[in-house]
Amino acid sequence: MSSVVLGLPERSRVEVIGGEFVVAPYPPVVHAAIRSDLHEGLFRAESRDEGFPWQVLQHVGVDLAEVWDGYCPDLVLVSAEVDLLESAEDRYLRPDEISLVAEVTAYPGAHNDRRPVSGKPTKWSGYARSGVPCYLLVDRDPRQPGVTLFGEPNKAEAAYRTLG
């Protein structure tokens, strides 16, 4: 994934979703707190289990070139065998290295994290189309709050099955 200078405000995050550049402000503090809680829970599990099978990363670039997208998910679980320092300077994760990706919704771009409703691709469908095995959605919308785990991606339909 190559970088482009767009002259955007410093506190902007740029992702490519459905082949389009999406510019959003950095998420609020509560968003970061939820992400940290998820990471902390996984860290506790790792400290209790010598054979913990994953590495946990926050806010890392994911290269979904095969679907013409690039995301910066809130949290990613990567197999413990993946060498994260390989070509470290320009390293972005590939879908085949990811076990689970987690997104915490934030206004105004929460619709980009959810299942598509208008046929327009979202990160949910992009991850599925790329074959990322599991997608955890933490939805902060007060009208429909919840945590949903999706899995068993269908690459052809760019869709997941709801697991819980």
E-state strands within 48-145: 54-58, 62-64, 69-71, 75-79, 98-104, 134-139
- Report if pTM > 0.85: no
pLDDT for the residue 159: 95
Can you tell me the distance from the alpha carbon of 10 to that of 44, in angstroms, rounded to the nearest whole number? 34
Task: Report the DSSP beta bridge partners of residue 135.
Answer: 101, 150
Can you tell me the distance from the alpha carbon of 119 to that of 19, in angstroms, rounded to the nearest whole number? 14
pLDDT for the residue 14: 73
Structure tokens at 11: 């506190």
- Cβ 86 vs Cβ 94: under 8 Å: no
pLDDT mean across residues, the chain: 85
In the predicted structure, residue 127 carries a pLDDT above the cut 90: yes
Query: What residue type is assigned to position 113 of the chain?
Result: D
- Kindly state the percentage of the chain with pLDDT values over 90: 32
Q: Coil, strand, or helix at residue 44?
A: helix
Can you tell me the distance from the alpha carbon of 55 to that of 65, in angstroms, rounded to the nearest whole number? 23
pLDDT for the residue 102: 95
Q: Coil, strand, or helix at residue 139?
A: strand
